[in-house]
Amino acid sequence: MNEPELNSGFITDLQNEMVLIDQLNDIRRHLPDTQNLSDADFARLLNEKPLDELLGVQQTPYQIIADVKSGKVSIEPVGHDYTRQSNFGEMVMDQHFRLDDYPRISTDQVTSLDDPIRKGIDGVYHNPDGHPPFIIAEDK
């Protein structure tokens, strides 16, 4: 008996949905007032208010990343200035570690595509299992 083949588009959609769920759960952790809401009420709240308003910031790294990935915002270099590409990479790196529950302990986090470039280590994260105790990350 032949097993049915899974459509690769279906698998990609499922993977994208799983990433979105992880992102929503991470956002929810930063919104203590939403902890007692049902998933449906939380989704309704996200549809009613902009995420930046809920988080109290001008624009979240999640929004910036989504805008770049969708093509809504360009990170193409201007001349020889790669600031936007560099900052985008650091935001994606921060999101990756945050979603894997590695809290950032360095304080110089990039929050905008146009933040000035800082020299030095891009990020230091606490490793919850302690082996090694810290992760030092450099985005390229």
Residue 14 within a domain: yes
Residue 3 within a domain: no
- pLDDT for the residue 31: 72
* HSE-CB for 76 with a 13 A CA cutoff: 5
Which of 99, 100, 101, 82 lies closest to 139 in space, CA to CA? Answer: 82
- pLDDT for the residue 140: 76
Q: Which residues contact 63 (CB under 8 A, 6 or more apart)?
A: 51, 52
20-47 pLDDT tens trace? 677 777 777 767 677 787 877 877 777 7
Residue 68 within a domain: yes
- pLDDT for the residue 107: 83
Residue 1 within a domain: no
- pLDDT for the residue 41: 81
- pLDDT for the residue 7: 59
- Taking the C-alpha atoms of residue 71 and residue 124, their distance in angstroms, rounded to an integer, is 29
- pLDDT for the residue 106: 86
Residue 95 within a domain: yes
Please give the tally of structural domains in the chain: 1
> Tokens representing 9?
């588009």
Q: Which residues of the chain have pLDDT under 50?
A: none
Per-residue b/e over 13-27, b at no fewer than 16 CB within 10 Å? eeeeeeeeeebbeeb
Q: State the residue range of the domain holding 55.
A: 8-137
Residue 108 within a domain: yes
Tell me, yes or no, if the pTM score tops 0.85: no
Residue 102 within a domain: yes
- pLDDT for the residue 52: 60
- Taking the C-alpha atoms of residue 91 and residue 61, their distance in angstroms, rounded to an integer, is 6
